[in-house]
Chain A
Amino acid sequence: MRELSSGPGRILVFVYGVFAVAATGRSLVQLGSDADRAPLAYTLSLVAAVIYLVATTCLLLGGRRAWVVAVGSCVVELLGVLSVGTLSYVDTELFPDKTVWSHFGQGYGFLPLVLPFLGLVWLRATRPDATS
């Protein structure tokens, strides 16, 4: 089995790490400064942050269990960005302030939309049964 955090995985870990820090920072600032303004958006920012953290950690850890958790977090991430992305266009009142996933991650160069796909492709290439 290939290391989850080597080769292309090394780039992925770095990108996920950057997003983990960015989303954590954003949600803490939002929740800390003005939590009542957009509770749903800010909570979702925090959820996104946790998911990015989990994904980064699992890629770093490697191994079968980490692989499974990483797949789970990428799927949740994909569903999250798709649903929040859609909702932020359809129901603007629900999101008076932005989250990482608003408008499919527009504020972050749409990377939040691309990232789960990259993650899943990489996890597919490194699935534990593929080479063992």
Chain B
Amino acid sequence: MTDWLTATILALAGVAAVVGIVLLVRDEPAQDRTFVVLGVVEVAVLVQLVVGAVSLSQTDRDVSGVLFVSYLVGNLLVLPIGAFWSLAERTRAGTGVLLVAVVTVIALQLRLETIWDGSGA
């Protein structure tokens, strides 16, 4: 996998997670700028979907294609669904949902690395 891209996403998601934790501690609802941060992460994840799909088509590694692509797509869906679900309730709970979504993206990044390294399901 493209290491710099994974590193970038992990760093951006890390920033988003810190923002989420600060909001949670202060008991403030998610701000517009919170969603901007999430948007940046989402753009990076979108780039990863494209780059990942291209890398998959060019690699001769033993990567489980279905699994890899499904993780890439899942990765892309987590934040929008989380954001949508949190918007119905702009409270601490809504912020909590955003934080869980960001942590999920981080977890999926680590799983993507494992899958790319060929250690299957």
Contact = CB atoms under 8 A, between A and B. Distances in A.
A29 B65 CA distance: 11
**SS of B interface (majority):** helix
A7 B91 contact: yes
Contacts of B34: none
A29 B74 contact: no
Contacts of A125: none
Nearest to A3: B89
Interface string A1-42: 000001111110111011001000110011001000000000
Contacts of B64: 29, 33
A10 B78 contact: no
Nearest to A11: B96
Interface string B72-113: 001000100110011011010110110011001001000000
Contacts of B78: 18
Contact of B94 (A10, A30, A33): A10
B121 A6 contact: no
B121 A10 contact: no
Nearest to A27: B121
Nearest to B89: A10
Interface residues of B, number: 22
A14 B82 contact: yes
Contact of A7 (B66, B82, B93): B93
Contacts of A11: 93, 96-97, 100
B43 interface: no
Contact of B101 (A6, A8, A14): A14
Interface of B: 64, 66-67, 70, 74, 78, 81-82, 85-86, 88-89, 91, 93-94, 96-97, 100-101, 104, 107, 121
Given A25-B74, A30-B121, 10 more contacts: A10-B86, A10-B89, A10-B97, A11-B93, A11-B100, A14-B85, A18-B78, A21-B74, A33-B64, A108-B107
